[in-house]
């Protein structure tokens, strides 16, 4: 009995404040604010708060201010499920914005599916997530690689070497590199998949020299793997062999890499701070006013910014935050004038049609955009995933399982 | 197999082993001489890397930034010994837990001080050519650095008064105290030297491994396993283990894949610990 009373007390103390401040819409956020992944998580969280501020300044959602209930996942998978459950059971959130790694998304996706709460995943990733409640605002591997591979084969040649991390982002990206190599009449002459803990790149660099590629597709994860790029340049290989990437810069690796190694590297992503548009200028101004200009803004931050605005637009359009109405509005072909160009939420696949940029590292730790592929479709996701026709699909499609 | 490829593989594997040895030596000294496993060793390495980086940013030449990093990490190490480690002597697991927690504090402290990304200093753009292959010169220079560091620590422990006192304090603590050796001061110095070596590693490896708050994690596991496999003969055992495990993993990775290189490292570790539960040097007669 004592326990029951104590539990009631806790329950009351938890629910009371929210009962008083009734007229607000709550959204949840789980990002890695501490631990090894905070290189991404802090900026994702900053972008969320900035977007909410902007929406609230413009009158909120359906006339109610938006309040954020945020959690720090500490770069640990178990924290994601724990906080996702807390957010669903206790906080009464209208939408959730969370996750960086694919494993974190796959861990919490079922929780929001069961609770029927729209869940936004905002990071570039290997692609293929398909779920009625899940919306992906980052670019997928096939979306980026389809344009990057075409560009690289035209500019460097037909012999390709793959250096990728040894988990699903790397191996699925590897699959797409093979596929787009074949489409562009090129061949993969060698590949090496590295554990995330690897700091010894000498073996990879020798194998690259033995294979004599025209360019290397390098997908280093985090700042540690940028050691590869330093050694590659110091060995004098940069003169003859191009380096292209779909994630170089996603964690501001270009800041860590010295100009000697970083100049001339090619990255393809859905956002670079050097995008020239009024929407991006406004976004950067807001960001720097609040967070300063020490660190360049990463693509993942813009993906979160876009997710929050798309959700707010959908909730306004639906006139409520009722999950079914919001999901229906999200599936109505919403567009948003985003910092990275106009984006369109594809109704069937819940992925974004967005501009993909190819940029070249400059001598000042930054990027110069060399080519823009406007309105690139998430082709693979659109082909596999149609949540209008079959709303019960809950899958993570991978090209290797076919 | 072409001879030039073979030569590059051997050279670069030796350099990989040397990098592992440089990163592990401080851990080995603290474990071998004090019986303390310092799980914050990787974070001391990180502190060394950031110290050297900050020193170069304020205009100190890189070569002089290395001793600055050593001094800073020695100072922090000495303070940590007095505040934490000293209170936990003889309690191996408590020390591990305390230093593990300390590592987390350092990690987050680095995030708050330096943010998540800092510009690296880059690698000197020199390379050497062997036949058709080209090797970055700086990682190869680490072979000489590792040999030099090993010789320095060996001489420090065998040819100096401090070294004799340090060995006396760990081998015969009561006798050492009886003849007037202040063993708690000696231990503080030994711990500071261990963390100073970590700081040296972080600074000297900075061109190869850029400074990031979580960089310590990448050395914690392999460094720890190397020291455990090496066993009680801290210096020779660790040098041999680093060359065997680190070099072996690198050779394996060169001929197969990086993942198999890692598999080699961990399988060899498991096998050696199964054969020598107290470390490969547990039956050796030498002491260092």
**Lowest-confidence region among A2-16, A157-171, A188-202, A376-390:** A2-16
Predicted local distance difference test score (pLDDT) of residue B1: 63
Residue A13 has pLDDT above 80, yes or no: no
Least confident of A17-21, A242-246, A331-335: A17-21
Judge: B214–A224 Cβ closer than 8 Å, yes or no: yes
pLDDT in tens, A55-113: 999 999 999 999 999 999 988 889 999 999 999 999 999 999 999 988 899 999 999 99
* pLDDT of A224 strictly over 90: no
Which residues 211-250 on chain B approach chain A with CB closer than 8 angstroms?
Answer: 212-215, 217-219, 221-222, 246, 249-250
Q: Are the CB atoms for B227 and B240 separated by under 8 Å?
A: no
Kindly identify which residue of chain A lies nearest to residue B117, measuring between CA atoms: A256
Contacts of B127 in chain A (CB under 8 A): 234-236
Which helix H or strand E contains B236, and what residues bound it?
A: helix B234-241
**What is the predicted pLDDT for the residue at A4?**
46
Q: Which of B101, B122, B256, B260 best tests the A interface by mutation, with the highest count of A CBs <10 A?
A: B122
Q: Which of A34-38, A191-195, B27-31, B200-204 has the lowest mean pLDDT?
A: A34-38
Average pLDDT of B242-268?
Answer: 89
Inter-residue contact A351 to A270 (CB < 8 Å): no
Tell me the pLDDT tens digit for each residue of A173-183.
Answer: 999 999 999 99
Spatial distance between the Cα atoms of B5 and A51, rounded to a whole number of angstroms: 54
- Tell me: the pLDDT tens digits for B7-29? 888 998 999 999 999 999 999 99
Q: pLDDT, tens digit, for every residue of B139-193?
A: 999 999 999 999 999 999 889 999 888 888 877 878 888 988 888 888 899 999 9
Q: Tell me the pLDDT band of A22, cut-offs 50, 70 and 90.
A: low
The reply to whether A142-269 shares the fold of A23-139+277-350 is yes
- When comparing pLDDT for B118 and B280, which is higher? B280
pLDDT for A18 equals 45
Whether the predicted pLDDT of A33 surpasses 80: yes
Counting beta carbons within 10 angstroms of the beta carbon of residue A390, is it exposed (0 to 12), middle (13 to 18) or buried (19 or more)? exposed
Contacts of B167 (CB under 8 A, 6+ apart): B33, B157, B287, B288
**A293 part of contact set with chain B, CB < 8 Å:** no
Q: What pLDDT does residue A350 have?
A: 96
* Eight-class DSSP state of A224: G
* Mean pLDDT, range A143-153, rounded to an integer: 94
Instruction: Give the DSSP letter string of A61-77.
Output: BTTB-EEEEEEE-TT-H
Q: Which B residues 154-173 touch A at CB under 8 Å? A: none
B112 close to A248: Cβ distance less than 8 angstroms: no
Q: How many CB atoms lie within 10 A of CB B108?
A: 15
Confidence (pTM): 0.84
Any idea which architecture A142-269 has in CATH?
3-Layer(aba) Sandwich (3.40)
Report the distance separating Cα A314 and Cα A142, nearest Å: 27
| B38 touching A (Cβ < 8 Å) | no
The percentage of residues in chain A with a pLDDT greater than 90, rounded to a whole number, is 72
ipTM above 0.85, yes or no: no
Residues in B touching A42 (Cβ below 8 Å) = 116
Q: Determine the pLDDT at residue A2.
A: 44
Q: What is the CATH number of domain A23-139+277-350?
A: 3.40.50.2300
> What digits encode the pLDDT tens for the residues A58-67?
999 999 999 9
Q: What are phi and psi of B70, to 5 degrees?
A: -60, -45
How far is residue A267's CA from residue A360's CA, in Å, rounded to a whole number? 6
Q: What percent of chain B has pLDDT over 70?
A: 99
Task: Find the mean pLDDT for residues B203-213.
Answer: 89
Give pLDDT tens digits for B34-82. 888 889 999 999 999 999 999 999 999 999 999 999 999 999 999 999 9
- Whether residue A11 is predicted with pLDDT greater than 60 in this model: the reply is no
Q: Convert the pLDDT of each residue in A292-330 to its tens digit.
A: 988 899 999 999 999 999 999 999 999 999 999 999 999
- Cβ within 8 Å, pair A203-B259: no
Mean pLDDT of chain A: 90
Q: Across the interface, which of B125, B133, B259 has its CB nearest the CB of A195?
A: B259
- Map tokens 């090209």 to a residue: A399
Q: Where are the domains of chain A?
A: 23-139+277-350, 142-269
Q: What is the pLDDT of residue A85?
A: 95
Confidence of residue A19 (pLDDT cuts 50, 70, 90): very low
pLDDT(A267) > 50: yes
Question: Which helix (H) or strand (E) is A328 found in, with range?
Answer: helix A323-330
Contact (Cβ atoms closer than 8 angstroms) between residue B115 and residue B125: no
Chain A residues touching residue B117 (CB < 8 angstroms): 39, 223, 251-253, 255-256, 295
Query: How far does CA A374 lie from the centroid of its chain?
Result: 18
Sequential DSSP letters for chain B: --HHHHHHHHHHHHHHHHHHHHHHHHHHHHHHHH----TTHHHHHHHHHHHHHHHHHTT--HHHHHHHHHHHHHHHHHHHHHHTGGGGTT-HHHHHHHHHHHHHHHHHHHHHHH-S----------EEEETTEEEEHHHHHHHHHHHHHHHHHHHHHHHSHHHHHHHHHHHSHHHHHHTT--HHHHHHHHHHHHHHHHHHHHHHTTTTS---TTHHHHHHHHHHHHHHHH-SSHHHHHHHHIIIIIIHHHHHHHHS-HHHHHHHHHHHHHHHHHH-TT-TTTT-S---
* Interface with B, mutate which of A33, A170, A204, A223 (most B CBs under 10 A): A223
Q: Convert the pLDDT of each residue in A351-375 to its tens digit.
A: 999 999 999 999 988 999 999 999 9
Task: Give the pLDDT of residue A402.
Answer: 58
């Amino acid at each position: 009995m004592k326990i029951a009373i104590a539990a009631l007390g806790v329950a009351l103390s938890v629910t009371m404040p929210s009962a008083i401040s009734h007229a607000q819409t709550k959204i949840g956020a789980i990002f890695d604010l501490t631990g090894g992944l905070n290189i991404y998580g802090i900026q994702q969280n900053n972008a969320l708060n900035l977007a909410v501020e902007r929406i609230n300044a413009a009158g909120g959602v359906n006339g109610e201010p938006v309040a954020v209930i945020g959690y720090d996942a500490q770069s640990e998978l178990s924290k994601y499920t724990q906080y996702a459950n807390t957010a669903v059971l206790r906080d009464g959130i209208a939408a959730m914005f969370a996750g960086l790694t694919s494993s974190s998304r796959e861990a919490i996706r079922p929780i929001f599916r069961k609770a029927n709460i729209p869940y936004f995943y905002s990071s570039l990733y290997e692609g293929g997530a398909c779920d009625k409640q899940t919306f992906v605002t980052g670019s997928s591997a096939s979306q980026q690689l389809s344009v990057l591979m075409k560009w690289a084969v035209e500019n460097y040649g037909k012999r390709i070497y793959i250096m990728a991390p040894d988990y699903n982002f790397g191996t699925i990206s590897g699959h797409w590199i093979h596929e787009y190599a074949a489409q562009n009449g090129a061949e993969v002459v060698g590949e090496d998949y590295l554990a995330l803990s690897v700091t010894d790149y000498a073996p990879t660099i020798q194998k690259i020299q033995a294979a004599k590629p025209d360019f290397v597709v390098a997908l280093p994860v985090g700042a540690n793997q940028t050691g590869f790029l330093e050694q590659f340049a110091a060995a004098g290989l940069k003169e003859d062999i191009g380096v292209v990437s779909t994630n170089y810069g996603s964690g501001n690796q270009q800041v860590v890499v010295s100009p000697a190694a970083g100049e001339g590297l090619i990255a393809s992503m859905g956002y670079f701070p050097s995008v020239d548009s009024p929407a991006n200028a406004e976004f950067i101004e807001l960001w720097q006013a609040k967070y300063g200009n020490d660190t360049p803004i990463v693509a993942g931050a813009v993906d979160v910014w876009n997710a929050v605005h798309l959700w707010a637009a959908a909730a306004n359009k639906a006139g409520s935050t009722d999950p079914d109405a919001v999901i229906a509005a999200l599936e109505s072909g919403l567009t948003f004038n985003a910092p990275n160009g106009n984006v369109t939420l594809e109704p069937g696949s819940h992925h974004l049609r967005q501009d993909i940029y190819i940029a070249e590292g400059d001598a000042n730790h930054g990027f110069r955009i060399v080519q823009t592929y406007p309105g690139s479709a998430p082709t693979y996701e659109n082909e596999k995933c149609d949540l209008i026709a079959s709303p019960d699909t809950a899958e993570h499609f991978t090209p290797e399982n076919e | 197999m072409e001879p030039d490829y073979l030569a590059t593989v051997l050279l670069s594997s030796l350099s990989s082993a040397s990098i592992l040895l440089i990163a592990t030596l401080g851990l080995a000294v603290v474990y071998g001489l004090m019986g303390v496993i310092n799980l914050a060793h990787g974070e001391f390495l990180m502190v060394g890397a950031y110290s050297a980086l900050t020193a170069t940013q304020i205009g100190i030449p890189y070569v002089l930034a290395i001793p600055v990093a050593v001094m800073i990490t020695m100072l922090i190490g000495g303070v940590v010994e007095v505040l934490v480690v000293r209170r936990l002597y003889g309690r191996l697991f408590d020390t591990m837990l305390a230093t593990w927690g300390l590592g987390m504090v350092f990690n987050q402290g680095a995030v708050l001080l330096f943010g998540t990304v800092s510009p690296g200093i880059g690698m000197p753009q020199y390379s050497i050519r062997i036949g058709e292959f080209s090797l970055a010169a700086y990682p190869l220079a680490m072979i000489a650095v590792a040999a030099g560091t090993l010789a320095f620590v060996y001489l420090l422990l065998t040819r100096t008064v401090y070294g004799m006192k340090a060995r006396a304090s760990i081998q015969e603590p009561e006798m050492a105290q009886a003849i007037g050796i202040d063993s708690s001061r000696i231990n503080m110095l030994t711990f500071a030297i261990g963390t100073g070596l970590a700081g040296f590693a972080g600074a000297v490896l900075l061109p190869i491994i850029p400074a990031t708050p979580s960089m310590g994690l990448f050395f914690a596991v392999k460094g720890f396993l190397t020291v455990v496999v090496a066993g009680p003969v801290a210096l020779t055992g660790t040098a041999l283990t680093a060359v065997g495990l680190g070099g072996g993993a690198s050779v394996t990775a060169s001929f197969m894949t990086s993942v198999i290189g890692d598999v080699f490292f961990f399988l060899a570790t498991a096998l050696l610990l199964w054969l020598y539960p107290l470390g490969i040097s547990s039956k050796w007669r030498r002491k260092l």
